[in-house]
Structure 1
Amino acid sequence: MDRCGRLAAADFSAPGLLGDAVIQARNLAESLQVVFDAGAKRILLPMSSLTNIPSVPGELFAKFQSRLYSNPVDAVFKALAEERGAGGFA
Structure 2
Amino acid sequence: MTNVFENPWLSGLFADAGAARIWSPQQQLKHMLSVEAAFTRALGNVGSVPVDDAERIAAQIEGFQVDVDDLRLGTARDGHGPDINTANIQFMPI
Q: TM-score, normalised by structure 1?
A: 0.25
* Between structures 1 and 2, the one with greater strand share: 1
The structure whose Rg is larger is 2
Greater relative CO (CA pairs within 8 A, separation 6+): 1
* Between structures 1 and 2, the one with greater helix share: 2
